[in-house]
Amino acid sequence: MRIAIHQFNAELGAVDRNLQRIEGLLAELAPGEIDLILFPEMCDTGYAMDVIMENAVAWDEHHLAGVKREAARLGATVVVGISERAGNDVFNTAAVIAPDGSLIYKYRKTHLVSIAPIHEDHYLTPGDSLGYFVSGGVNFGVMTCYELRFPEVARTLTLRGAQVLLVPTAWPAVRVEHLTSLLRARAIENQLFVVCASRVGTDADITFSGNSMVIDPNGNILARGSAATEEWLRADIDLETVQRSRERIAALLERRPHLYGGK
């Protein structure tokens, strides 16, 4: 399976221009070149709470039309983190577009940042279900940024059958070592691939970390982006590695849930 990540740098508040840029970036790729393409968190609005609340978009059947056309042209699954307005609520959402260009799934971030000065929890509405979808015969889990700090989420998605965990982020550069450690831990403990798209740039005095990564089920970093540059990152992954890893070290089978309070 061929993976591509873009370390996007959103223009704060410029929803239409940001989405047009994503469409243009996808246009750089050739049909059949990539199977799955991942963009970071909140690519349409940028990542500042007041700007998100002012500019978040209500979706209709035409939303992401250009990105959908490019997904269909490429024959690729495209996952992009964007805002979603629904009535009085605004969600931090990952949109999943199938290789036929249809919107097949959306994941609304369930665990919101409560850390100053970000405080998503003061502005956004949390989703009420974890992120899991199937595309191209592959089982994917989705966790957004801060949710890496909740191993229960990754484990639950693994037990549902996830082979690849997708992580769109806008991770602060000041904690980039946390990002690396958490991504590798989620891969190793669940014996699956972790694919993280981490944005670059600065919004509202927060500089983001870059360092997008593809990590295999043994914790090996197969590809890693730079700290500050918008760029494409590519990696080939062998999904059979998931099963081989789990057969070699059978930790998932050796769990004793009755000792964990039924978890």
Long-range interactions of 90-94: CB distance < 8 A, separation 24+: 90/52, 90/53, 90/56, 90/123, 90/124, 90/125, 91/124, 91/125, 91/127, 92/41, 92/42, 92/120, 92/124, 92/144, 93/127, 94/41, 94/131, 94/142, 94/144, 94/166, 94/168
Q: Catalytic residue positions? A: 41, 109, 145
Q: What is the largest CA-CA distance in the chain?
A: 52
The interaxial angle of helices 151-160 and 176-190, nearest 10 deg, is: 30
Non-local CB neighbours of 35 within 8 Å, separated by 6+ positions: 1, 2, 3, 76, 77, 136
Strand partners, 235: 3
In what helix (H) or strand (E) does residue 242 lie, and over which residues does it extend?
A: helix 240-248
